[in-house]
Protein backbone atom coordinates (compact mmCIF):
# COMPACT_ATOMS: atom_id res chain seq x y z
CA UNK A 1 0.00 0.00 0.00
CA UNK A 2 3.07 2.28 0.25
CA UNK A 3 1.71 3.49 3.56
CA UNK A 4 2.57 3.56 7.24
CA UNK A 5 -0.95 2.24 7.84
CA UNK A 6 -1.18 -1.57 7.62
CA UNK A 7 -3.16 -2.72 4.61
CA UNK A 8 -5.98 -4.28 6.62
CA UNK A 9 -6.57 -0.99 8.48
CA UNK A 10 -7.31 0.95 5.30
CA UNK A 11 -11.01 1.67 5.00
CA UNK A 12 -13.79 1.03 2.52
CA UNK A 13 -17.18 2.67 3.13
CA UNK A 14 -16.21 3.77 6.61
CA UNK A 15 -15.06 0.37 7.85
CA UNK A 16 -11.56 -1.11 7.82
CA UNK A 17 -10.79 -4.03 5.50
CA UNK A 18 -10.29 -6.10 8.65
CA UNK A 19 -13.63 -4.90 10.01
CA UNK A 20 -15.42 -6.08 6.87
CA UNK A 21 -13.80 -9.51 7.26
CA UNK A 22 -14.85 -9.77 10.90
CA UNK A 23 -18.45 -8.77 10.13
CA UNK A 24 -18.63 -11.37 7.35
CA UNK A 25 -17.24 -14.08 9.60
CA UNK A 26 -19.50 -13.14 12.49
CA UNK A 27 -22.53 -13.57 10.21
CA UNK A 28 -21.91 -17.35 10.40
CA UNK A 29 -22.39 -17.31 14.20
CA UNK A 30 -19.16 -19.30 14.68
CA UNK A 31 -18.16 -20.97 17.93
CA UNK A 32 -14.99 -18.88 17.86
CA UNK A 33 -13.61 -16.20 15.59
CA UNK A 34 -9.81 -15.84 15.37
CA UNK A 35 -7.75 -13.05 13.82
CA UNK A 36 -4.11 -13.84 13.03
CA UNK A 37 -1.77 -10.88 13.45
CA UNK A 38 1.86 -10.15 12.71
CA UNK A 39 2.77 -6.90 10.91
CA UNK A 40 2.00 -3.85 13.12
CA UNK A 41 0.29 -6.23 15.52
CA UNK A 42 -0.68 -3.68 18.20
CA UNK A 43 -2.62 -1.48 15.79
CA UNK A 44 -4.28 -4.47 14.18
CA UNK A 45 -5.23 -5.92 17.57
CA UNK A 46 -6.70 -2.60 18.70
CA UNK A 47 -8.86 -2.43 15.57
CA UNK A 48 -9.91 -6.07 15.95
CA UNK A 49 -11.11 -5.65 19.51
CA UNK A 50 -12.80 -2.35 18.69
CA UNK A 51 -14.87 -4.16 16.05
CA UNK A 52 -15.56 -7.28 18.15
CA UNK A 53 -14.19 -7.67 21.66
CA UNK A 54 -14.91 -11.42 21.70
CA UNK A 55 -12.44 -12.21 18.90
CA UNK A 56 -9.46 -14.40 19.78
CA UNK A 57 -6.02 -13.14 18.74
CA UNK A 58 -3.36 -15.48 17.33
CA UNK A 59 0.22 -14.28 16.84
CA UNK A 60 2.04 -15.57 13.79
CA UNK A 61 5.73 -16.27 14.35
CA UNK A 62 8.58 -15.56 11.94
CA UNK A 63 7.65 -18.42 9.62
CA UNK A 64 5.90 -16.72 6.69
CA UNK A 65 2.86 -17.82 4.73
CA UNK A 66 -0.88 -18.28 4.93
CA UNK A 67 -0.49 -21.92 5.89
CA UNK A 68 1.57 -20.97 8.92
CA UNK A 69 -1.03 -18.32 9.81
CA UNK A 70 -3.73 -21.01 9.93
CA UNK A 71 -1.50 -23.27 12.03
CA UNK A 72 -1.12 -20.44 14.55
CA UNK A 73 -4.89 -19.95 14.58
CA UNK A 74 -5.47 -23.65 15.26
CA UNK A 75 -2.95 -23.56 18.10
CA UNK A 76 -4.78 -20.56 19.60
CA UNK A 77 -8.11 -22.37 19.39
CA UNK A 78 -6.72 -25.48 21.08
CA UNK A 79 -5.15 -23.34 23.80
CA UNK A 80 -8.58 -21.84 24.42
CA UNK A 81 -10.07 -25.29 24.86
CA UNK A 82 -11.98 -25.36 21.57
CA UNK A 83 -12.76 -28.82 20.25
CA UNK A 84 -11.88 -28.92 16.56
CA UNK A 85 -14.75 -31.11 15.44
CA UNK A 86 -16.74 -28.71 13.26
CA UNK A 87 -15.97 -27.19 9.84
CA UNK A 88 -13.28 -24.51 9.88
CA UNK A 89 -13.79 -21.43 7.70
CA UNK A 90 -10.72 -19.45 6.61
CA UNK A 91 -10.96 -16.03 4.96
CA UNK A 92 -8.55 -13.24 4.06
CA UNK A 93 -8.73 -9.77 5.58
CA UNK A 94 -8.53 -7.85 2.30
CA UNK A 95 -11.78 -8.79 0.54
CA UNK A 96 -14.25 -6.16 1.80
CA UNK A 97 -17.15 -7.14 -0.48
CA UNK A 98 -17.21 -10.72 0.81
CA UNK A 99 -20.43 -10.94 2.81
CA UNK A 100 -22.16 -13.26 5.23
CA UNK A 101 -24.58 -14.56 2.61
CA UNK A 102 -21.72 -15.77 0.40
CA UNK A 103 -20.00 -17.47 3.34
CA UNK A 104 -23.27 -19.10 4.38
CA UNK A 105 -23.71 -20.49 0.87
CA UNK A 106 -20.15 -21.83 0.94
CA UNK A 107 -20.68 -23.63 4.26
CA UNK A 108 -23.97 -25.10 3.01
CA UNK A 109 -22.28 -26.40 -0.16
CA UNK A 110 -19.53 -27.92 1.99
CA UNK A 111 -21.92 -29.72 4.30
CA UNK A 112 -24.24 -30.91 1.55
CA UNK A 113 -21.41 -32.07 -0.72
CA UNK A 114 -19.53 -33.95 1.98
CA UNK A 115 -16.22 -32.53 0.78
CA UNK A 116 -13.01 -32.40 2.77
CA UNK A 117 -12.24 -28.98 1.34
CA UNK A 118 -14.64 -26.46 -0.23
CA UNK A 119 -13.25 -23.27 -1.68
CA UNK A 120 -14.53 -20.14 -3.38
CA UNK A 121 -13.31 -19.37 -6.88
CA UNK A 122 -14.19 -16.92 -9.61
CA UNK A 123 -13.32 -16.24 -13.23
CA UNK A 124 -11.61 -12.98 -14.22
CA UNK A 125 -10.45 -11.58 -17.52
CA UNK A 126 -6.98 -10.78 -16.18
CA UNK A 127 -5.85 -13.28 -13.54
CA UNK A 128 -2.39 -11.76 -13.11
CA UNK A 129 -1.21 -11.97 -9.52
CA UNK A 130 -3.73 -14.57 -8.40
CA UNK A 131 -3.38 -18.26 -7.64
CA UNK A 132 -4.83 -20.40 -10.46
CA UNK A 133 -7.33 -23.16 -9.77
CA UNK A 134 -6.25 -26.39 -11.47
CA UNK A 135 -9.01 -28.84 -12.35
CA UNK A 136 -9.05 -32.33 -13.85
CA UNK A 137 -12.33 -33.60 -15.24
CA UNK A 138 -14.08 -30.72 -13.49
CA UNK A 139 -12.72 -31.54 -10.03
CA UNK A 140 -10.28 -29.25 -8.22
CA UNK A 141 -6.88 -30.91 -7.86
CA UNK A 142 -4.75 -27.98 -6.75
CA UNK A 143 -3.93 -24.28 -6.64
CA UNK A 144 -0.81 -22.86 -8.21
CA UNK A 145 0.53 -19.46 -7.14
CA UNK A 146 1.45 -16.99 -9.89
CA UNK A 147 5.20 -17.19 -9.27
CA UNK A 148 5.16 -20.98 -9.34
CA UNK A 149 2.82 -21.44 -12.33
CA UNK A 150 3.77 -22.73 -15.78
CA UNK A 151 2.83 -20.80 -18.91
CA UNK A 152 -0.16 -23.09 -19.44
CA UNK A 153 -1.31 -22.63 -15.85
CA UNK A 154 -0.99 -18.86 -16.08
CA UNK A 155 -3.51 -18.94 -18.94
CA UNK A 156 -6.16 -20.29 -16.53
CA UNK A 157 -8.75 -17.60 -15.72
CA UNK A 158 -10.32 -19.34 -12.70
CA UNK A 159 -8.64 -17.94 -9.62
CA UNK A 160 -8.51 -18.81 -5.95
CA UNK A 161 -10.49 -16.41 -3.77
CA UNK A 162 -8.59 -17.43 -0.60
CA UNK A 163 -11.83 -18.40 1.16
CA UNK A 164 -12.15 -22.00 2.33
CA UNK A 165 -14.13 -24.45 4.45
CA UNK A 166 -12.08 -27.37 5.79
CA UNK A 167 -12.90 -30.62 7.48
CA UNK A 168 -10.70 -30.20 10.60
CA UNK A 169 -8.69 -33.44 10.43
CA UNK A 170 -7.95 -32.92 6.73
CA UNK A 171 -6.68 -29.41 7.44
CA UNK A 172 -4.51 -30.43 10.42
CA UNK A 173 -2.97 -33.44 8.69
CA UNK A 174 -2.31 -31.60 5.41
CA UNK A 175 -0.68 -28.59 7.12
CA UNK A 176 1.75 -31.02 8.72
CA UNK A 177 2.94 -31.99 5.25
CA UNK A 178 3.25 -28.50 3.77
CA UNK A 179 6.81 -27.41 3.01
CA UNK A 180 8.43 -24.17 1.90
CA UNK A 181 9.84 -25.33 -1.42
CA UNK A 182 8.38 -22.52 -3.52
CA UNK A 183 9.41 -19.23 -5.08
CA UNK A 184 8.61 -17.22 -1.94
CA UNK A 185 9.79 -19.67 0.70
CA UNK A 186 6.41 -19.58 2.43
CA UNK A 187 4.07 -22.13 3.96
CA UNK A 188 1.21 -21.96 1.47
CA UNK A 189 -2.30 -22.73 2.65
CA UNK A 190 -3.10 -23.43 -0.99
CA UNK A 191 -0.89 -26.54 -0.86
CA UNK A 192 -3.50 -28.15 1.42
CA UNK A 193 -5.81 -28.50 -1.60
CA UNK A 194 -3.34 -30.62 -3.60
CA UNK A 195 -2.38 -32.68 -0.52
CA UNK A 196 -6.04 -33.42 0.19
CA UNK A 197 -6.57 -34.42 -3.45
CA UNK A 198 -3.56 -36.76 -3.44
CA UNK A 199 -4.93 -38.34 -0.26
CA UNK A 200 -8.08 -39.24 -2.19
CA UNK A 201 -10.28 -36.66 -0.48
CA UNK A 202 -12.89 -34.58 -2.27
CA UNK A 203 -12.15 -30.94 -3.03
CA UNK A 204 -15.02 -28.78 -4.25
CA UNK A 205 -14.70 -25.39 -5.92
CA UNK A 206 -17.74 -23.10 -5.67
CA UNK A 207 -17.63 -20.49 -8.42
CA UNK A 208 -18.81 -16.99 -7.55
CA UNK A 209 -20.31 -15.30 -10.60
CA UNK A 210 -19.78 -11.80 -9.20
CA UNK A 211 -16.00 -11.51 -9.04
CA UNK A 212 -16.25 -8.25 -7.06
CA UNK A 213 -17.43 -10.32 -4.08
CA UNK A 214 -14.00 -11.88 -3.69
CA UNK A 215 -11.86 -9.11 -5.16
CA UNK A 216 -8.75 -8.55 -3.05
CA UNK A 217 -6.92 -5.31 -2.31
CA UNK A 218 -3.17 -5.04 -2.79
CA UNK A 219 -2.64 -1.34 -3.57
CA UNK A 220 -4.44 1.97 -3.43
CA UNK A 221 -5.66 1.68 -7.00
CA UNK A 222 -7.55 -1.48 -6.06
CA UNK A 223 -8.66 0.15 -2.81
CA UNK A 224 -10.27 3.00 -4.74
CA UNK A 225 -11.95 0.59 -7.16
CA UNK A 226 -13.35 -1.49 -4.29
CA UNK A 227 -14.57 1.65 -2.53
CA UNK A 228 -16.37 2.80 -5.65
CA UNK A 229 -18.03 -0.57 -6.17
CA UNK A 230 -19.01 -0.88 -2.53
CA UNK A 231 -20.52 2.61 -2.62
CA UNK A 232 -22.43 1.85 -5.80
CA UNK A 233 -24.04 -1.14 -4.09
CA UNK A 234 -24.85 0.81 -0.93
CA UNK A 235 -26.43 3.70 -2.82
CA UNK A 236 -28.44 1.34 -5.03
CA UNK A 237 -29.72 -0.57 -2.00
CA UNK A 238 -30.96 2.61 -0.33
CA UNK A 239 -32.66 3.78 -3.52
CA UNK A 240 -34.50 0.45 -3.70
CA UNK A 241 -35.63 1.01 -0.11
CA UNK A 242 -37.23 4.36 -0.94
CA UNK A 243 -34.44 6.92 -0.64
CA UNK A 244 -34.21 9.53 -3.40
CA UNK A 245 -30.61 9.97 -4.54
CA UNK A 246 -30.51 12.73 -7.12
CA UNK A 247 -26.99 11.96 -8.37
CA UNK A 248 -25.67 8.52 -7.35
CA UNK A 249 -22.29 9.26 -8.96
CA UNK A 250 -21.50 12.04 -6.46
CA UNK A 251 -23.13 10.48 -3.40
CA UNK A 252 -21.04 8.50 -0.91
CA UNK A 253 -22.68 6.56 1.92
CA UNK A 254 -20.80 4.55 4.53
CA UNK A 255 -21.87 1.04 5.37
CA UNK A 256 -23.18 1.89 8.87
CA UNK A 257 -25.40 4.80 7.78
CA UNK A 258 -29.17 4.39 8.34
CA UNK A 259 -31.68 6.09 6.02
CA UNK A 260 -35.47 6.13 6.21
CA UNK A 261 -37.80 6.02 3.18
CA UNK A 262 -38.45 9.39 1.50
CA UNK A 263 -35.14 10.86 2.51
CA UNK A 264 -33.74 12.99 -0.33
CA UNK A 265 -30.01 13.23 -0.96
CA UNK A 266 -28.91 16.00 -3.27
CA UNK A 267 -25.65 15.91 -5.34
CA UNK A 268 -22.19 15.96 -3.75
CA UNK A 269 -23.12 14.50 -0.38
CA UNK A 270 -21.01 12.28 1.87
CA UNK A 271 -22.70 10.49 4.78
CA UNK A 272 -20.01 8.96 6.95
CA UNK A 273 -19.77 6.87 10.07
CA UNK A 274 -23.05 6.11 11.83
CA UNK A 275 -25.27 8.86 10.41
CA UNK A 276 -29.00 8.33 10.84
CA UNK A 277 -31.49 10.29 8.71
CA UNK A 278 -35.25 10.19 9.29
CA UNK A 279 -38.16 10.32 6.83
CA UNK A 280 -38.60 13.44 4.74
CA UNK A 281 -35.24 14.97 5.54
CA UNK A 282 -33.28 16.60 2.72
CA UNK A 283 -29.49 16.45 2.77
CA UNK A 284 -27.39 18.59 0.45
CA UNK A 285 -26.27 19.60 -1.96
CA UNK A 286 -22.59 19.79 -1.07
CA UNK A 287 -22.67 18.42 2.48
CA UNK A 288 -20.42 16.12 4.49
CA UNK A 289 -21.94 14.66 7.66
CA UNK A 290 -20.17 12.25 10.03
CA UNK A 291 -21.96 10.49 12.90
CA UNK A 292 -24.89 12.92 12.76
CA UNK A 293 -28.57 12.27 13.50
CA UNK A 294 -31.02 14.18 11.30
CA UNK A 295 -34.67 14.34 12.34
CA UNK A 296 -37.81 13.94 10.29
CA UNK A 297 -38.36 16.68 7.73
CA UNK A 298 -35.13 18.50 8.53
CA UNK A 299 -33.05 20.28 5.88
CA UNK A 300 -29.25 20.37 5.76
CA UNK A 301 -27.68 22.41 2.95
CA UNK A 302 -23.97 22.91 2.17
CA UNK A 303 -22.91 21.90 5.65
CA UNK A 304 -19.96 20.14 7.24
CA UNK A 305 -20.49 18.51 10.61
CA UNK A 306 -19.78 15.64 12.98
CA UNK A 307 -21.20 14.14 16.17
CA UNK A 308 -24.27 16.37 16.20
CA UNK A 309 -28.06 16.01 16.44
CA UNK A 310 -30.47 17.93 14.20
CA UNK A 311 -34.09 17.86 15.32
CA UNK A 312 -37.25 17.31 13.30
CA UNK A 313 -38.13 20.18 10.99
CA UNK A 314 -34.90 22.02 11.72
CA UNK A 315 -32.86 23.80 9.06
CA UNK A 316 -29.08 23.98 8.77
CA UNK A 317 -27.00 25.95 6.29
CA UNK A 318 -25.90 26.90 3.84
CA UNK A 319 -22.24 27.05 4.83
CA UNK A 320 -22.68 25.90 8.42
CA UNK A 321 -20.11 24.01 10.50
CA UNK A 322 -21.46 21.70 13.21
CA UNK A 323 -18.77 20.52 15.58
CA UNK A 324 -19.17 17.71 18.13
CA UNK A 325 -21.74 18.23 20.85
CA UNK A 326 -24.11 20.36 18.77
CA UNK A 327 -27.79 19.70 19.51
CA UNK A 328 -30.36 21.61 17.45
CA UNK A 329 -33.89 20.98 18.67
CA UNK A 330 -37.10 20.69 16.67
CA UNK A 331 -37.78 23.52 14.19
CA UNK A 332 -34.54 25.28 15.12
CA UNK A 333 -32.19 26.99 12.70
CA UNK A 334 -28.44 27.17 12.27
CA UNK A 335 -27.89 29.45 9.31
CA UNK A 336 -25.34 30.85 6.93
CA UNK A 337 -21.71 30.92 8.10
CA UNK A 338 -22.54 29.74 11.61
CA UNK A 339 -20.20 27.51 13.63
CA UNK A 340 -21.42 25.60 16.68
CA UNK A 341 -19.63 23.43 19.22
CA UNK A 342 -20.88 21.74 22.39
CA UNK A 343 -24.05 23.80 22.13
CA UNK A 344 -27.74 23.11 22.77
CA UNK A 345 -30.15 25.24 20.75
CA UNK A 346 -33.75 24.89 21.87
CA UNK A 347 -36.98 24.26 20.02
CA UNK A 348 -37.70 26.95 17.44
CA UNK A 349 -34.60 28.97 18.29
CA UNK A 350 -32.50 30.50 15.55
CA UNK A 351 -28.88 31.40 14.97
CA UNK A 352 -29.39 32.74 11.45
CA UNK A 353 -25.98 33.97 10.27
CA UNK A 354 -22.34 34.89 10.82
CA UNK A 355 -22.07 33.65 14.40
CA UNK A 356 -20.14 31.30 16.69
CA UNK A 357 -21.99 29.42 19.43
CA UNK A 358 -19.64 27.36 21.57
CA UNK A 359 -20.21 25.91 25.06
CA UNK A 360 -23.68 27.43 25.27
CA UNK A 361 -27.31 26.60 26.04
CA UNK A 362 -30.05 28.51 24.24
CA UNK A 363 -33.69 28.10 25.26
CA UNK A 364 -36.82 27.89 23.12
CA UNK A 365 -38.00 30.50 20.62
CA UNK A 366 -34.90 32.67 20.92
CA UNK A 367 -33.25 34.61 18.10
CA UNK A 368 -29.50 35.26 18.18
CA UNK A 369 -28.56 38.35 16.16
CA UNK A 370 -26.08 38.28 13.30
CA UNK A 371 -22.34 38.34 13.95
CA UNK A 372 -22.67 37.19 17.57
CA UNK A 373 -19.93 35.30 19.37
CA UNK A 374 -20.06 33.23 22.54
CA UNK A 375 -16.64 34.03 23.96
CA UNK A 376 -16.04 30.76 25.79
CA UNK A 377 -12.26 30.74 26.30
CA UNK A 378 -10.24 33.06 28.51
CA UNK A 379 -6.88 31.67 27.45
CA UNK A 380 -6.82 29.10 30.25
CA UNK A 381 -10.31 27.76 30.87
CA UNK A 382 -13.45 27.27 28.81
CA UNK A 383 -16.73 28.31 30.40
CA UNK A 384 -20.38 27.91 29.51
CA UNK A 385 -23.05 30.54 28.91
CA UNK A 386 -26.84 30.34 28.71
CA UNK A 387 -29.48 32.36 26.92
CA UNK A 388 -33.04 31.76 28.04
CA UNK A 389 -36.25 31.24 26.08
CA UNK A 390 -37.91 33.87 23.85
CA UNK A 391 -34.93 36.21 23.96
CA UNK A 392 -33.98 38.65 21.22
CA UNK A 393 -30.30 39.46 21.09
CA UNK A 394 -28.92 42.21 18.89
CA UNK A 395 -26.40 41.94 16.10
CA UNK A 396 -22.69 41.92 16.91
CA UNK A 397 -23.11 40.75 20.52
CA UNK A 398 -20.25 39.24 22.51
CA UNK A 399 -21.32 36.85 25.31
CA UNK A 400 -18.27 36.65 27.57
CA UNK A 401 -18.60 33.37 29.44
CA UNK A 402 -19.81 32.52 31.93
CA UNK A 403 -22.93 34.68 31.64
CA UNK A 404 -26.67 34.03 31.84
CA UNK A 405 -29.32 35.89 29.87
CA UNK A 406 -32.75 35.41 31.42
CA UNK A 407 -36.00 34.46 29.67
CA UNK A 408 -37.58 37.15 27.53
CA UNK A 409 -34.56 39.46 27.70
CA UNK A 410 -33.36 41.72 24.88
CA UNK A 411 -29.88 42.99 24.10
CA UNK A 412 -28.89 45.96 21.94
CA UNK A 413 -26.76 45.84 18.82
CA UNK A 414 -23.03 45.87 19.49
CA UNK A 415 -23.45 44.90 23.15
CA UNK A 416 -20.76 43.03 25.05
CA UNK A 417 -22.45 40.92 27.72
CA UNK A 418 -20.11 40.54 30.67
CA UNK A 419 -22.71 40.27 33.42
CA UNK A 420 -25.94 38.31 33.80
CA UNK A 421 -29.07 39.84 32.25
CA UNK A 422 -32.27 39.48 34.32
CA UNK A 423 -35.44 38.08 32.68
CA UNK A 424 -37.22 40.69 30.61
CA UNK A 425 -34.40 43.23 30.82
CA UNK A 426 -32.74 45.15 28.00
CA UNK A 427 -28.95 44.97 28.07
CA UNK A 428 -26.99 47.72 26.32
CA UNK A 429 -23.52 49.22 26.56
CA UNK A 430 -24.38 52.90 27.32
CA UNK A 431 -21.44 54.63 25.69
CA UNK A 432 -22.49 57.79 23.83
CA UNK A 433 -21.69 58.09 20.16
CA UNK A 434 -19.25 60.94 19.40
CA UNK A 435 -19.05 62.63 15.98
CA UNK A 436 -15.94 64.71 15.08
CA UNK A 437 -17.18 67.21 12.53
CA UNK A 438 -15.18 67.85 9.33
CA UNK A 439 -12.53 65.28 10.33
CA UNK A 440 -12.31 63.83 6.80
CA UNK A 441 -11.92 67.26 5.17
CA UNK A 442 -9.05 68.13 7.53
CA UNK A 443 -7.33 64.74 7.72
CA UNK A 444 -7.91 63.36 4.22
CA UNK A 445 -7.84 66.36 1.86
CA UNK A 446 -7.89 65.61 -1.83
CA UNK A 447 -9.53 62.20 -1.44
CA UNK A 448 -12.78 61.18 -3.07
CA UNK A 449 -14.30 60.98 0.41
CA UNK A 450 -13.32 64.56 1.19
CA UNK A 451 -14.75 65.84 -2.10
CA UNK A 452 -18.01 63.93 -1.54
CA UNK A 453 -18.29 65.39 1.96
CA UNK A 454 -17.61 68.90 0.71
CA UNK A 455 -20.32 68.59 -1.91
CA UNK A 456 -22.76 67.28 0.66
CA UNK A 457 -21.90 70.23 2.94
CA UNK A 458 -22.44 72.68 0.07
CA UNK A 459 -18.81 73.75 0.03
CA UNK A 460 -18.36 72.70 -3.63
CA UNK A 461 -20.72 73.73 -6.41
CA UNK A 462 -22.03 70.38 -7.72
CA UNK A 463 -22.81 71.76 -11.19
CA UNK A 464 -19.38 73.38 -11.46
CA UNK A 465 -17.68 70.24 -10.24
CA UNK A 466 -19.59 68.18 -12.77
CA UNK A 467 -18.69 70.61 -15.57
CA UNK A 468 -15.03 70.57 -14.56
CA UNK A 469 -15.08 66.80 -14.47
CA UNK A 470 -16.58 66.73 -18.00
CA UNK A 471 -13.83 69.02 -19.33
CA UNK A 472 -11.14 66.80 -17.83
CA UNK A 473 -12.75 63.73 -19.38
Condensed to tens digits (0 to 9), the pLDDT of residues 327-338 reads: 999 999 999 999
pLDDT cut 70: percent of the chain above it = 97
Between CA 11 and CA 272 the distance in angstroms is: 12
pLDDT of res. 465: 46
Check pLDDT > 90 for residue 300.
Answer: yes
Cis check for the bond before 402: say yes or no (omega within 30 of 0). yes
Check pLDDT > 70 for residue 464.
Answer: no
DSSP lists the bridge partners of residue 244 as: 264
pLDDT of res. 183: 79
pLDDT of res. 460: 80
Residue 335 lies in a domain: yes
Q: Are 294 and 312 in contact (CB under 8 A)?
A: no
| pTM for this model (two decimals) | 0.91
Q: Which residues contact 402 (CB under 8 A, 6 or more apart)?
A: 383, 384, 385
- Residue 447 to residues 453, 460, 468: CA-CA distances in angstroms? 10, 14, 16
CATH number at residue 152: 3.90.550.10
For 288, counting Cβ atoms within 10 Å of its Cβ (0-12 exposed, 13-18 middle, 19+ buried), the class is middle
User: Are residues 178 and 255 part of one domain?
Assistant: no
The DSSP secondary-structure symbol of 205 reads E
Q: Among residues 160, 169, 124, which one has the least CA distance to residue 140?
A: 160
Residue 233 lies in a domain: no
Domain count, the chain: 3
User: Are residues 142 and 251 part of one domain?
Assistant: no
Residue 220 lies in a domain: no
353 is catalytic: yes
Q: Are 269 and 281 in contact (CB under 8 A)?
A: no
User: Are residues 301 and 174 part of one domain?
Assistant: no
- Residue 422 to residues 9, 351, 388: CA-CA distances in angstroms? 54, 21, 10
The mean per-residue pLDDT over the stretch 305-334 comes to: 98
The chain-wide mean pLDDT, for the chain, equals 95
User: Are residues 243 and 207 part of one domain?
Assistant: no
User: Are residues 407 and 325 part of one domain?
Assistant: yes
Condensed to tens digits (0 to 9), the pLDDT of residues 15-68 reads: 999 999 999 999 999 999 999 999 999 999 999 999 999 999 999 999 999 999
The DSSP secondary-structure symbol of 219 reads S
User: Are residues 449 and 419 part of one domain?
Assistant: no
Residue 275 lies in a domain: yes
User: Are residues 292 and 170 part of one domain?
Assistant: no
User: Are residues 346 and 311 part of one domain?
Assistant: yes
pLDDT of res. 129: 84
For 123, counting Cβ atoms within 10 Å of its Cβ (0-12 exposed, 13-18 middle, 19+ buried), the class is middle
CATH number at residue 354: 2.160.10.10
Residue 201 lies in a domain: yes
Characterise 16 by phi-psi region: left (phi > 0), alpha (psi -120 to 50), beta (else).
beta
Condensed to tens digits (0 to 9), the pLDDT of residues 336-359 reads: 999 999 999 999 999 999 999 999
Between CA 24 and CA 205 the distance in angstroms is: 20
User: Are residues 127 and 39 part of one domain?
Assistant: yes
CB atoms within 10 A of CB 346: 22
User: Are residues 246 and 116 part of one domain?
Assistant: no
Rounded (10°) CA dihedral 161, 167, 172, 176 = -60
User: Are residues 254 and 197 part of one domain?
Assistant: no
Q: Are 295 and 313 in contact (CB under 8 A)?
A: yes
Condensed to tens digits (0 to 9), the pLDDT of residues 216-253 reads: 999 999 999 999 999 999 999 999 999 999 999 999 99
Q: How many CA atoms lie within 13 A of 369 on its CB side?
A: 16
Rg from Cα positions in the chain: 34
For 83, counting Cβ atoms within 10 Å of its Cβ (0-12 exposed, 13-18 middle, 19+ buried), the class is exposed
pLDDT of res. 433: 85
pLDDT of res. 463: 56
Check pLDDT > 50 for residue 76.
Answer: yes
Between CA 120 and CA 164 the distance in angstroms is: 6
Condensed to tens digits (0 to 9), the pLDDT of residues 91-147 reads: 999 999 999 999 999 999 999 999 999 999 999 999 988 899 999 988 899 999 888
Q: How many helices (H) and strands (E) does the chain have?
A: 11, 36
- Domain span including residue 466: 439-472
pLDDT-derived band at 149 (thresholds 50, 70, 90) equals very high
Residue 433 lies in a domain: no
- Residue 70 to residues 60, 115, 259, 365: CA-CA distances in angstroms? 9, 19, 39, 63
Q: Are 64 and 72 in contact (CB under 8 A)?
A: no
Between CA 157 and CA 132 the distance in angstroms is: 7
pLDDT of res. 462: 58
Q: What is the 3-state secondary structure (H, E, C) of 289-327?
A: EECCEECCCCEECCEEEECCEECCCCEECCCEEECCCCE
pLDDT-derived band at 184 (thresholds 50, 70, 90) equals confident
Convert 245-257 to b/e letters by CB count within 10 Å (16 or more is b).
Answer: beebebbbbbbbb
pLDDT cut 90: percent of the chain above it = 91
**Sign of the alpha-carbon torsion through 159, 160, 163, 165:** positive
CB atoms within 10 A of CB 326: 26
User: Are residues 48 and 88 part of one domain?
Assistant: yes
Q: Which residues contact 421 (CB under 8 A, 6 or more apart)?
A: 403, 404, 405, 406, 409, 411, 427
Residue 395 lies in a domain: yes
Residue 1 lies in a domain: no
The mean per-residue pLDDT over the stretch 185-205 comes to: 93
Q: Which long-range contacts (CB under 8 A, 24 or more apart) does 233-242 make?
A: 233/97, 234/13
Selecting among 20, 110, 197, 353, the annotated active-site residue is 353
Amino acid sequence: MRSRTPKVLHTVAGRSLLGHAIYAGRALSPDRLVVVVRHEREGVINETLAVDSSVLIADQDEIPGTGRAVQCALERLLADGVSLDRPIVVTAADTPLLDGDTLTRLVEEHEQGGSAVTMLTTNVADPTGYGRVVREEGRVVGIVEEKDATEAQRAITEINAAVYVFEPRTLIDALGGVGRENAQGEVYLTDVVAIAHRAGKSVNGVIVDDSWTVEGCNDKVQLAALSKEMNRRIVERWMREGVTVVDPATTWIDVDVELAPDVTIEPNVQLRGACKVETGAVIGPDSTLTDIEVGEGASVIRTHGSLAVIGAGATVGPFSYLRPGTYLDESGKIGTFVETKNARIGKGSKVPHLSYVGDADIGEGTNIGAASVFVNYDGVNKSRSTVGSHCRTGSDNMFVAPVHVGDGAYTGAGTTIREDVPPGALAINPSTQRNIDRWVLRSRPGTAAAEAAARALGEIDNDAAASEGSKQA
